[in-house]
Structure 1
C-alpha cells in the first residue's frame, strides 16, 4: 500500500532528555511539504557528535529530539517543487546542507551555508515546523537530517542523489565522518606529496584522515592514539607508524618533533579535546607546519595557546565536513569509494541492529570500534 501523502508510523531512537539513553519509540512522520523529501533510512553511522548532543555538551539542543546525521536511504516521496531527487532514488542525507545561493555558498572557499542549523540547533525544518511527533507532541530534528529513524523528512537541499549500486551501509559514512576526515586533508590542509603527517585520534574521522594522507601522497603518516587496538587497521589504511603517548615519559609532541627534525608538515586533531589540540599544534614544524582541528569539543571548552606557536610560522586551520560542498562533491566521493580509491568499508568495524542502538554508542565510547553502523 502506498504511503505517499500519508503520515507514516515508524520507529525512531528518541532522545527524551540529555544524559539519558535513547529510547526506541513509535513516532509519526508527516508527509513532506513543498521542497522537502521523505527518505526511508536504511543505514546510519553513530558519530561522536551524536554523543555530544546526547550528553548535553552541545548548548542549545532542544529535547525531545531525534539524533543521527550520517544516514543513507531511498527517497519514499517528495513535496511539490522538488527537482533534484525523485521517489526511488538512493540518497545520502547532508548534515551541512547548502542552498547554493547565499554569499557563503557562492564563496569558493566556504561550505557553511547561512541556512545551516549547525551551531544554531533550531531543530526544525526551514519553515520552522517539524515533521516528527509522538501522539501529537512535537519532536525536534538534528543537524537537518535526524537519521536515527526509519523514515525522516529533510529539506531538499539536505540530501543528494548517489549511484544506486553503492553499498549504503558504507557510503552513509560519507555523510559526515569520512568526508570530514578525508576532505580536511585534501581541501583544508592541502597535504602535498612527499610530506609528513601526524594524525591524533584513530577513530572513524582519524582513519579517514589517514586514508586522505595516503591518497595525497604523504611519505610518512604517524598515527597517535592511547588505544593500541587501533594500530593494526591504521597501518593497513596507510599509517607508517603508530604511537601511544602513554609509552613515553615526555609530551608526545616533543617525541614527534624529535622524530621529524622539528615537527611534521601537517598535523590533525580528530578527537575534540582542547588539551590535545595544543599538543597537535606543537607537533607540526615550528617554522612551516600546518595544524588542522577537526574534532568537535564540548561547546563550553576553550583553547588556550601560546601565540609564539603561530608567530614563528605555523598555520592553524579548522574545517567542517572537510570543506566539501556536499551537493557537488558527495556523488563523486561515492564513485571513488566504488572504484576503490580508498577503502571506506574498512571503517565499518561493527554493524548494529537499530533496536540495539545504545550498544553501538557503548562500542564508540569505549574505543571498541572504528565506526558502528546501524542496520535499520
Structure 2
C-alpha cells in the first residue's frame, strides 16, 4: 500500500507535491516542479494527506505506464492518490484528477461514467460516445466552427475596449461547439459553466463539488428524459436510445453527459486563452500563425502550444494492481502513481530545448491528451477548434494585445485545469 508519512517525521529526499507555478513565470513549470525531474524518472513525493505515492516524470516511463493494464483508474481504491478531499458520497469530484474528458471520480460507481473504470467496462461505455468524435465527423464540423468563430469576433469588435477575452470569446465558443452535438441547449451555458468551474476548483469544498456535480447530473438526467420522449440526432438522443434498449441506465447516460459537457468546454476554453496570450508574448511566432496559408503550419503550432502549456496540472493518477518494475524502482501492488504530463512534455530527450516555444518543431509526441486506453476522447474536436481559432483571431484583429501587464493577469493557480480567470485585451 502507499506509504504514509508519520506526522512530524523528517522525510529527507521526499519532496512535497504539488507545487504551483510561479507568478513570475506563468507559462512555465515552477522551479520546484522543474527540480523534480532531476530526482529521476520515478520517485516518491509527499501529498496533502500525508501519503507518499510515486511520481513519474519522464516521457518514456509515462507512456509505458499509461498503457499498462496493471494500473487502475478506480478512485475507490484505498490509496488512490486523490488531489482533493472527498465528499462522503463519492460524487462531485468530476475533473478533480486533471484528465480533461477522462478525469473524474466514480468511487466504484457510475457516478462519473467510464473515467473511473478499468477495461472491459471502461471500453464498453467509451465506445458508446467515441464514434461522435471521429476525425471525419469533426472535420465536417469545421466550416460551422469557422462561421461561429467569425461571429464571436464580430461581436468582440463591437464591444467597448478593453474586453475580457475569456467571457466574450474563449469560454462561449467551446461551450457552443459541444452543446450542439451533445444536445444541450446553449442558453443554459451560464448554469453548466458555473458548475464546471466549481468541479475543477482546488479551493471548493467537497460539499460544493458534490452540489455542483449533483446539479449537473440532475440537469442532464432531465435532458435524457426529454430525449426519450422526443429523440433527435444528438448524442444524448443516442444515449437515450441505449437506455431504452437496456444497454445503459438513465443515470449512466446522464453522467456520461456530465463528463462530455465538462471535458468538451473547460479545457479548450483555457487553451484558447493561454495559447493566445502566449503567442502575443512571441510576436514572430504569432505572425507565422497569422500569415501562413498552410494548414500544417497551424496544426504544428497547435501541437506545440499543447505541449508547452500542458494545462492539466495535477497529473494522471493511478493505483497499481500488481507489482511493477520500472526505471529501477518497484511500484508495489496498491501503491499510488502520479504521472506528470507537464514534465513529460518538457523532457529534453524527446523535445530538444524544451523550455523554448517553437511552433515549427514536431511536438506531436506530447502527453497533453494522455495515452493508452484512457487518452482524451475529445481530442479531435479540441484540436480542430484551436486550429480554427488561433489564426482567425490573429488575422481578424492583427493589433490584438493584452490590456494589462502579464503580472496583472489573474491566472488559475487555484484550479485543476490551468488558465486565466480573465484576460483583458485591446487593439
TM-score, reference length from structure 2 = 0.24
Q: Choose between structure 1 and 2: higher helix proportion.
A: 2
Q: Give TM-score scaled by structure 1 length.
A: 0.26
Give the structure with the larger strand fraction: 1
